[in-house]
């Protein structure tokens, strides 16, 4: 049996921020945290979200959009909403775990070409990485 903590990251579409959080935490803290992601609605992983993870050497092949129902009955140590909409729509408790909200801006809503919005994807990726790494380091200390 694993001693890893289990974290579920939630966003509305499970297409950008929650996918980046899942990939980053599994890559950076995978020896101590097993990360998953879901949304209140199922769509697809945004190509630019995958691209900015791949820039860091993160394998994005396991990432796909899924809804909360995919995790029915599974226990989690942390359930973390990353957007205001998911914070409002998600249950207060998921599998007996209290939800935590750590919000980030949504780069997928920005107008412009891929080249124009790519720097914002990188900025949000880096912010997610820094904020969640600090959060888990405090929690796991």
Residue 130 confidence (pLDDT): 98
Give the chain's domain count: 1
Residue 12 confidence (pLDDT): 86
The pLDDT of 68-93, averaged and rounded, is 77
Query: Among all residues, which ones are annotated catalytic?
Result: 11, 83, 90
Containing domain of residue 38, as a range?
5-140
Residue 62 confidence (pLDDT): 93
Q: Is pLDDT of 13 > 60? A: yes
Q: Which 8-state DSSP code applies to residue 98? A: E
Q: The domain spanning residue 65 has which CATH number?
A: 3.40.50.2300
Compute the distance between CA of residue 22 and CA of residue 48 in angstroms, rounded to an integer: 15
- Give residue 1's pLDDT band: very low, low, confident or very high (50, 70, 90): low
Q: Which of 107, 129, 8, 124 is nearest to 66 (CA)?
A: 8
pTM: 0.92
């Amino acid at each position: 049996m694993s001693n890893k903590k289990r974290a579920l990251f939630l966003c509305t579409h499970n297409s950008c921020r929650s996918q980046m959080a899942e990939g980053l935490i599994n890559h950076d803290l995978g020896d101590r945290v097993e990360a998953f992601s879901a949304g209140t609605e199922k769509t697809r992983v945004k190509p630019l979200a995958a691209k900015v993870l791949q820039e860091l050497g993160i394998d994005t092949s396991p990432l796909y959009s899924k809804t909360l129902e995919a995790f029915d009955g599974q226990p989690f140590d942390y359930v973390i909403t990353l957007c205001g909409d998911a914070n409002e729509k998600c249950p207060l408790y998921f599998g007996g775990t209290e939800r935590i909200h750590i919000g980030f801006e949504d780069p997928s809503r920005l107008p412009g070409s891929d080249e124009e919005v790519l720097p914002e994807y990188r900025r949000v990726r880096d912010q997610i990485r820094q904020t969640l790494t600090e959060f888990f380091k405090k929690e796991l200390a």
